[in-house]
């Protein structure tokens, strides 16, 4: 055990407080020295009332840490009020197991701020102390230079020349080369060894001997049931807001919550994890992290997470079992390998060409593939039976079976467009056809969608889930049966129809009804704490353009510049041309004109005078 400050025999202590009592105005807590044991911590929790009930029968479950006594320099600021007690005990135990030399290296690394951003990093630092060397009593560059030359013989210097060496400059070069730093404990250098992460922050990575919250692992069945119900309510609400297909498939909220609750209690959680991940949730978000806590508390085992219904279907329909799928995958891999080996393109398989549809016959349910009968036969499949309506042929190979369209069946067509009513701020509603699916809906409302069902008609509103948070323009009000505003939609929204499983096209009668209902745009104001709606005229792009160009605002009629002001303008322009004095030429222009006149007056027939050469007698 190292020597801690003030000769303490423990690195730190925490004052653990009953949060429920604290909120009632009473400070009920107890100091706990770390490292500790699960048995000791259980007694502390009992003494401070964790697990007891209040006057209303509610259990005191929550605790927090109100203060620390810390005897490791630099550690206090990293300890939080909601720190993980298992993690704290892990760190304290690792510190207690150190030798004095190791502890000094840990303290030096703490002082230079290396891997000290969290308790997790500090725990990993205790496992990587070989990455640091500490040279005690070396506090400046001169000390460092002398130590390297005189003690480590880094440079052979004759005795009579040592007084002429600039030890400070030499020590500065060494510190720069090694990225070393000076601390209260001496000079610290990086040895160059790799820093490894042994602890990833998950509770499962903490060795059993360091865990002290194990006494809480055995949660009463009643509490687990309440926890699962709370999770079911939160998850159902999240799915309804972010997945329109879920809302359409589960119109009864109570039944949907019961289904999620039963899956949680039965340990069928992987499907819920996958659905949350598909909606963009990560372990940093509330629901996935809460599910992980629920798994830890209930002893969840992934290999047992199998839907009994899936097992029954696999027994009743062995053609669709996972074993056969794996065999089919292996067969396909072998075919691709052979094709590559012989320089051929791999033939298509039914799995590759599945359409996502299924066909039910008296002999079972079969996935539809858009391969032809000839292609299926080439892949080793033969005719098995026909669907009752004659539209599909069931092709099998002895272990698997698929449905393909028969010759008389219509070809697989693209999904139909979705007819919706688009309602934009300050505009009249208009009908639009969009592609079905989440991405098209998100594009229309400009972000993640939420669905609302405020009307008795089979219609829904699809709107931007964060419209109000990101400051989109307020659009239309929603009113109760008394005509009072109870909500305002922000940003563009869609009025859509409701099908048996998902959104559907809006019927003509509903288009007419809700076009009339949302026809007038609204402006909103807060008067004496009450929201007031003022209907306004919708924006007209043609009117705006005419207002920009029209010369007579009394003639906003769809024809630009057709008022009397146009006639008056033309008369004014004619009169201006008549009365405007003629512009005088500039001096330069008049000089140029004079030159041209002089040139024109010269006679072109008269030759220019020539100088005669002198006669010989004149010389």
Evaluate whether 23 touches 66 at the Cβ level (below 8 Å): no
Residue 86 lies in a domain: yes
- Return the pLDDT at 204: 78
- Residues 132, 9 share a domain: yes
Return the DSSP state at 74: T
Least confident of 59-63, 459-463, 614-618: 614-618
Residue 20 lies in a domain: yes
- Residues 370, 345 share a domain: yes
- Residues 447, 395 share a domain: no
- Residues 129, 10 share a domain: yes
- Residues 465, 342 share a domain: no
Residue 77 lies in a domain: yes
Residue with tokens 């308790």: 119
Strands (E), 326-405: 354-361, 364-369, 382-386, 392-396, 401-405
Query: Cα dist. 545→212, 560, 561 in Å?
Result: 74, 9, 12
Domain containing 43 — which CATH number? Answer: 3.10.20.480
Tokens of 312: 């029954």
Cis peptide before 35 (omega within 30 of 0): yes
| Between 286 and 616, residue with greater pLDDT | 286
Q: How far apart are CA 536 and CA 428, in angstroms?
A: 11
Tokens of 380: 């080793």
What residues make up the domain containing 385? 316-405
Domain endpoint, select from 275, 306, 337: 306
- Return the pLDDT at 16: 94
Q: How far is CA 412 from the centre of its chain?
A: 35
If one counts the domains in the chain, the total is: 4
pLDDT tens digit sequence for 564-608 = 555 555 665 666 566 555 555 655 565 566 666 656 655 454 454
Q: Give me the phi and psi of 577, to 5 degrees please.
A: -65, -35
Q: How far is CA 313 from the centre of its chain?
A: 36
Give 491-512 as a 3 state SS string.
Answer: CCEEEEEECCCCEECCCHHHHH
- Residues 127, 240 share a domain: no
- Return the pLDDT at 27: 92
Domain endpoint, select from 405, 430, 446: 405
Q: How far apart are CA 598 and CA 224, in angstroms?
A: 116
- Return the pLDDT at 510: 94
Strands of 132-135's sheet in order across: 132-135, 186-190, 181-183
- Residues 469, 394 share a domain: no
Answer yes or no: is pLDDT of 287 > 80.
Answer: yes
- Residues 429, 394 share a domain: no
Residue 392 pairs in a beta bridge with 405
pTM for the whole thing?
Answer: 0.38
Residue 79 lies in a domain: yes
Return the DSSP state at 2: -
Residue 202 lies in a domain: no
Return the DSSP state at 565: H
- Residues 10, 107 share a domain: yes
- Residues 115, 43 share a domain: yes
Residue 513 pairs in a beta bridge with none
Residue 438's pLDDT band (cuts 50, 70, 90): confident
Query: Cα dist. 347→320, 332, 350, 357, 398 in Å?
Result: 22, 9, 10, 22, 19
- Residues 331, 249 share a domain: no
Q: How far apart are CA 131 and CA 191, in angstroms?
A: 5
Domain endpoint, select from 277, 306, 335: 306
Answer yes or no: is pLDDT of 362 > 80.
Answer: no
63: helix, strand or coil: strand
Average pLDDT value for residue range 7-36:
91
Residue 110 lies in a domain: yes
- Residues 326, 290 share a domain: no
Residue 545 lies in a domain: no
Burial string for 4-43 (b: 16+ CB within 10 Å, else e) reads beeeeebbbbbebbbbbbbeeeeebbeebebbbebeebbe
DSSP assignment string, 510-536: HHHHHHHHT-S-EEEEEETTEEEEEE-
- Return the pLDDT at 345: 52
The packing angle between helices 253-265 and 270-278, to 10°, is 120
Average pLDDT value for residue range 511-517:
94
Q: Give me the phi and psi of 279, to 5 degrees please.
A: -95, 15
Residue 64 lies in a domain: yes
384: helix, strand or coil: strand
pLDDT tens digit sequence for 457-467 = 999 999 999 98
Answer yes or no: is pLDDT of 551 > 80.
Answer: no
Residue of 514, 515, 533 whose CA lies nearest to 428: 515
DSSP assignment string, 29-59: EEEEEES--HHHHHHHHHHTTTT-B-TTS-B
């Amino acid at each position: 055990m190292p020597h801690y400050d003030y000769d303490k025999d423990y690195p730190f202590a925490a004052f653990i407080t009953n949060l429920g009592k604290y909120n009632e105005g009473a400070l009920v807590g107890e100091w706990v020295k770390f490292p500790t044991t699960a048995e000791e911590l259980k007694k502390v929790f009992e003494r401070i009332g964790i697990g007891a009930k209040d006057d209303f029968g509610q259990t005191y479950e929550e605790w927090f840490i109100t203060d620390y006594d810390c005897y490791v320099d630099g550690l206090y600021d990293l300890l939080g009020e909601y720190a993980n007690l298992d993690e704290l005990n892990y760190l304290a135990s690792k510190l207690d197991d150190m030798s004095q030399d190791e502890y000094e290296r840990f303290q030096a690394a703490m002082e230079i701020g290396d891997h000290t951003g969290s308790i997790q990093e500090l725990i990993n630092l205790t496992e990587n102390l070989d990455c640091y060397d500490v040279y005690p009593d070396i506090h400046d560059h001169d000390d460092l230079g002398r130590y390297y030359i005189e003690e480590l013989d880094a440079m052979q210097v004759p005795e009579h020349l040592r007084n002429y060496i600039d030890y400070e400059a030499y020590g500065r070069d060494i510190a720069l080369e090694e990225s070393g730093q000076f601390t209260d404990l001496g000079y610290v250098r990086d040895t160059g060894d790799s820093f490894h992460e042994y602890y990833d922050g998950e509770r499962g990575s903490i060795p059993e001997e360091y865990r002290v919250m194990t006494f809480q692992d055995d949660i009463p069945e009643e509490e687990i049931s309440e926890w699962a119900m709370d999770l079911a309510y939160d998850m159902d609400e999240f799915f309804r807001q972010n997945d329109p297909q879920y809302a359409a498939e589960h119109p009864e909220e109570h039944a949907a919550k019961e289904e999620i609750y039963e899956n949680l209690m039965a340990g069928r959680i992987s499907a819920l994890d996958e659905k949350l991940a598909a909606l963009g949730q990560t372990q940093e978000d509330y629901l996935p992290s809460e599910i992980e806590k629920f798994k830890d508390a209930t002893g969840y085992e992934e290999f047992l997470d199998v839907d009994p219904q899936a097992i029954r279907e696999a027994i009743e329909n062995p053609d669709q079992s996972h074993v056969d799928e794996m065999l089919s995958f292996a067969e396909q891999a072998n075919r691709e390998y052979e094709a590559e080996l012989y320089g051929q393109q791999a033939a298509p398989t039914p799995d590759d060409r599945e359409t996502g549809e299924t066909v039910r016959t008296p002999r079972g349910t079969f996935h539809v593939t858009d391969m032809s009968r000839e292609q299926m036969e080439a892949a080793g499949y033969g005719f098995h039976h026909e669907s009752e309506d004659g539209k599909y042929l069931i092709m099998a190979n002895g272990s698997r079976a698929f449905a393909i369209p028969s010759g008389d069946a219509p070809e697989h067509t693209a999904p139909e467009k979705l007819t919706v009513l688009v309602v934009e701020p300050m505009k009249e509603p208009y009908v639009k056809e969009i592609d079905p699916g989440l991405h098209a809906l998100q594009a229309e409302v400009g972000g993640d969608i939420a669905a609302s069902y405020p009307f008795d008609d089979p219609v829904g509103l699809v709107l931007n889930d964060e419209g109000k948070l990101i400051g989109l323009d307020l659009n239309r009000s929603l009113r109760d049966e008394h005509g009072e505003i109870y909500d305002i939609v922000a940003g563009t929204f869609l009025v859509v129809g409701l099908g048996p499983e998902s959104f559907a096209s809006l019927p003509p009668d509903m288009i007419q009804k809700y076009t009339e209902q949302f026809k007038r745009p609204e402006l909103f104001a807060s008067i004496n704490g009450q929201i007031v709606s003022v209907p306004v005229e919708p924006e007209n792009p043609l009117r705006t353009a005419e207002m920009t160009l029209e010369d007579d605002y009394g003639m906003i009629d769809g024809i630009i510049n057709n008022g009397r002001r146009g006639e008056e303008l033309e008369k004014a322009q004619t009169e201006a041309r008549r009365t405007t004095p003629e512009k005088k030429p500039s001096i330069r222009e008049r000089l140029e004109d004079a030159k041209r006149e002089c040139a024109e007056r010269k006679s072109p027939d008269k030759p220019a005078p020539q100088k005669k050469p002198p006669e010989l007698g004149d010389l």
